[in-house]
Amino acid sequence: MKVLKFGGTSVGTVNSLTNVKRIVEEIPGRKVVVVSALGGITDLLIATARLAVADDIAYLDSYARIVERHIAVIDGVVPESRRDATLAMVKMMLDELGNIFKGVMLLHDLSPRALDIIVSYGERLSSVIVSNAIKGATHFDSRTFIRTKEGPHGANVLDSELTNRLIEEKVCAYEWDTAVMGGFLATDAKGEVTNLGRGGSDYTAAIMAAALDADILEIWTDVDGFMTADPRVIDTAYVIDELTYTEAMELCNFGAKVIYPPTIYPVYHKNIPILVKNTFNPSAPGTRISNEPPHRKPSDKAIKGISSINDTCLVTITSLCMVGVIGVNSRIFNALTAKGVSVFLVSQAASENNTTIAVRNADADLAVRTLREEFATELATGMFNDVVAERDLATVAVVGENMKHTTGLAGKLFNTVGRNGINVIACAQGASETNISFVIERKSLRKALNVIHDSFFLSECQVLNLFLIGVGNVGRSLMQQISKQQEKLLREKNLRINVVGIASSKRGVFNRDGLDVADWRRLLDEEGIDVTPDIIRREVLNMNIFNSVFVDCTASADVAALYKDLLSHNVNVVAANKIAASGDYDVYKELKETARRKDVKYLFETNVGAGLPIINTINSLINSGDKILKIEAVVSGTLNYIFNVLAADVPLSRAVVMAKEAGYTEPDPRIDLSGKDVIRKLVILAREAGYEVSQEDVEKNLFIPEEMLAGEADEFISKVASLDEEFEKMRGDAEAAHRHFRFVASFDNGHLSVGLRSVDSDHPFYNLAGSNNVILLTTDRYMEYPMVIKGYGAGAEVTAAGVFADIISIANIR
């Protein structure tokens, strides 16, 4: 025999009730059907009662909605032959309910008992409707056999013995094929209406299954089964095929709403399996919960599921005198038990000098008061420190019986959350090793659940969440490359690039579910908000999303000023922007140290030589014990391009315009022409080589007079024309002598300089076409023949590719 429970989500509408009817009618033989109130009705009953007691006439509208919903489903699912009789019964109950609400309003009294009576109408009404909708069904009033008694601290608890006896008498003794009854409902020893607690219909069904020795208990809901995490929080959560009772219990106790926690015990005790099924997709296999250990496959994950509660307060009692003293914990728990405070996590270090317990926020004050009273003498003498409460926290539990076979799991877990800037405030793992629970700040809960789910369940697929700032040449190219490459990276490298923010200097669009980069222009125009760097910072930090990467493709000092805060919040930074790495030395150093301390990356490979592997190479040399002695470099693609295109018919001013049009220059070409861009790059190279240098340390032999650089960027090009003649002469002389002009950056024996040099055909810089860059590194190991790195050193495509490579290196994929 089967016991089937249909939750509020399954009996909420005509459509879902039609499915319920079909599912039940197709099952041959005897079955018990336990139903919840129509979805949302229990909450509506409570809300209506609260309006009535507050003398708020709006209760009548609320009551009218309750009436409407019930009448509508009768019209939709009860066969015509029984419709009038059902309507009459339901209307009678609804009238009673209306009178009760009126009484509550007139008396201004809503006792717990009255509220219990009011909520009972939910299941009383739904069970009458369902029993009339299903062919050949018999209705049973569960108030006549589900009995509660007073438990500790006045709570209603199931009177199992009496209930089992009454089920025998009131249900088993009768002939029926399909028994339909309301879940949740009960009566107490005095015959008053009570219930089994919110979500209690599952429990009713489990009690019935155990009492009737059913073959199976089926919990029908609106998802395909028990999932790896709450699907409303984690959109990649998926259905678990099999769970043991222990695993299900651990997950349900900790907020996995799909099954009410007390449900497991009665069926576990009788070894009756539970099957969680979807009313809206009955052919899906669902989740089977049983005693049999799941059939272990090599591909099985160590963790079966994650659940959480966001209502946590930690209460800590500390004393150096607690060490080795017997009975402190017993006093803590006895005192709390006497006051009815439920403790759901305990953590005590082996040093024994403090004990931390987790309670619900609502119990926090009582817990603190109770412990202060219990340890009043010790507190007065200063033996114990004051009892402290830390509120607004959340607890996460990761669960799985396979955890006990897996070493390094706790390490991976805490490393994963730590790298994402989530601080673990307390943790507990029982020796059964089926559950690791830990407490974090409530604001980080969503991030923690996502990052754990991502790294433990989708371990073959890693996610990077990107904020792309700057939609100039490089930013636009990067978005094109990402859009083209996204699918391939997912397919071949299991790397999911999820763009969660795009911003220009004026507009920004942010969405944690991901944005279509190919559509960036429309998104910014139609869905964007006005932004400033500070607004961008707030959007990134407030999203608080895991594995996040801030990609700066701007040339803005204000955006660069955000890095410190972002890195401190465990956001990786990839910068094409050179300002931070070449600016104030202390800032540069601090950014690198912050990244190291927070275990995130601050990468800026494209700051020198666009996509060429220069900074990574210098780092590899240094890390393997080499020493950089000398750097000679042509690192301005723009200047090299300009000197290469200069010709009798291409004067300097024209060459500058051509460089800008080809997308080689900085947004403001004066940054290139003034040598500032090369100075910055040289400083970055020397710093990465391990030297404490700044832009002021660079000897500057520039070729554009200082006064020409003042004023607006647009005027600059026309001013440059005044240099055309002089440059043409220089060019002619150089050509006659078979020499080429190069703007060279040099670091030699601690001395930094930049300047224009003419080189002859023997020099490695002589053949350097277009906008190419070249770097010569003389090191301890590359002394006689310096290492040469050469290639395209400017241009949106190669720079964006370098930025993309930095982003991908964060994921650490091969």
Nearer to ligand ADP by Cβ, of 232 and 295: the residue is 232
Instruction: Please tell me the distance from the alpha carbon of residue 411 to that of residue 406, in angstroms, as a whole number.
Output: 11
Nearer to ligand ADP by Cβ, of 34 and 614: the residue is 34
- In DSSP terms, 788 is beta-bridged to 776
What is the nearest approach in angstroms of ligand PHD to the Cβ of residue 219? 9
The C-alpha angle 46, 52, 56, rounded to 5 degrees, equals 120
Site string for ligand ADP, 407-446 (x = CB under 6 A): ----------------------------------------
Burial of 80 (0-12, 13-18, 19+ CB in 10 A): exposed
What is the nearest approach in angstroms of ligand PHD to the Cβ of residue 9? 6
Nearer to ligand PHD by Cβ, of 201 and 554: the residue is 201
Nearer to ligand ADP by Cβ, of 226 and 741: the residue is 226
Nearer to ligand ADP by Cβ, of 314 and 436: the residue is 436
Which of ligand PHD, ligand ADP, none binds 554 (CB below 5-8 Å, type-dependent)? none
- DSSP letter at 532? -
- Report the residue count for the chain: 814
Q: Is residue 728 close enough to count as binding ligand ADP by CB under 6 A?
A: no
Nearer to ligand ADP by Cβ, of 36 and 462: the residue is 36
Which of ligand PHD, ligand ADP, none binds 200 (CB below 5-8 Å, type-dependent)? ligand PHD
Which of ligand PHD, ligand ADP, none binds 231 (CB below 5-8 Å, type-dependent)? ligand ADP
Packing angle, helices 41-53 and 59-77, rounded to 10: 150
Instruction: Please tell me the distance from the alpha carbon of residue 420 to that of residue 409, in angstroms, as a whole number.
Output: 17
Which of ligand PHD, ligand ADP, none binds 227 (CB below 5-8 Å, type-dependent)? ligand ADP
Which of ligand PHD, ligand ADP, none binds 475 (CB below 5-8 Å, type-dependent)? none
What is the nearest approach in angstroms of ligand ADP to the Cβ of residue 401? 16
Which of ligand PHD, ligand ADP, none binds 222 (CB below 5-8 Å, type-dependent)? ligand ADP
DSSP 413-465: HHHHHHHTTPPP-EEEE-TT-SEEEEEEEGGGHHHHHHHHHHHHTSTTSEEEE
Tokens of 663: 């997308």
Instruction: Please tell me the distance from the alpha carbon of residue 540 to that of residue 699, in angstroms, as a whole number.
Output: 40
The four Cα atoms 662, 666, 668, 672 give a dihedral, to 10 degrees, of -100
Which of the residues 453 through 492 are near ligand ADP (CB under 6 A)? none
What is the nearest approach in angstroms of ligand PHD to the Cβ of residue 367? 26
Active-site annotation holder among 5, 447, 598, 681: 681
In the complex, the residues that contact ligand PHD under the rule CB under 6 A are 7-8, 36-37, 42, 122, 183-184, 198-202
| Residue number of the CB atom closest to ligand ADP | 7
**Total site size for ligand ADP, rule CB under 6 A:** 20
Task: Work out whether the CA dihedral 485, 486, 488, 489 comes out positive or negative.
Answer: positive
Nearer to ligand ADP by Cβ, of 263 and 636: the residue is 263
2, 3, 4, 10: residue in contact with ligand ADP (rule CB under 6 A)? 10
Packing angle, helices 59-77 and 14-25, rounded to 10: 40
What is the nearest approach in angstroms of ligand PHD to the Cβ of residue 200? 5
Q: Give the rounded distance of the alpha carbon of 457 from its chain centre.
A: 14
Site string for ligand ADP, 212-241 (x = CB under 6 A): ---------xxx--xx-xxxx---------
Which of ligand ADP, ligand PHD, none binds 395 (CB below 5-8 Å, type-dependent)? none
What is the nearest approach in angstroms of ligand PHD to the Cβ of residue 358? 24
Residue 621 · residue 685 · CB < 8 Å: no
Tokens of 729: 């002469």
681 annotated active-site: yes
Site string for ligand ADP, 142-181 (x = CB under 6 A): ----------------------------------------
Side chain identity at 68, as an amino acid letter? E
- DSSP letter at 622? H
Which of ligand ADP, ligand PHD, none binds 198 (CB below 5-8 Å, type-dependent)? ligand PHD
Burial of 464 (0-12, 13-18, 19+ CB in 10 A): buried
What is the nearest approach in angstroms of ligand ADP to the Cβ of residue 303? 13
Residue 225 · residue 287 · CB < 8 Å: yes
Instruction: Please tell me the distance from the alpha carbon of residue 62 to that of residue 38, in angstroms, as a whole number.
Output: 15
Which of ligand PHD, ligand ADP, none binds 764 (CB below 5-8 Å, type-dependent)? none
DSSP 299-332: T--S--EEEEEEEEEEEEEE-GGGTT-TTHHHHH
What is the nearest approach in angstroms of ligand ADP to the Cβ of residue 3? 15
What is the nearest approach in angstroms of ligand PHD to the Cβ of residue 256? 13
Q: Torsions phi, psi of 114, nearest 5?
A: -65, -40
Nearer to ligand ADP by Cβ, of 257 and 296: the residue is 257
Burial of 280 (0-12, 13-18, 19+ CB in 10 A): middle
Strands 698-701 and 628-634: unpaired
DSSP H helices in 599-712: 615-623, 637-645, 652-661, 670-673, 676-688
Active site residues: 681
Q: Which residues bind ligand ADP (CB under 6 A)?
A: 7-10, 36, 39, 199, 221-223, 226-227, 229-232, 256-258, 305
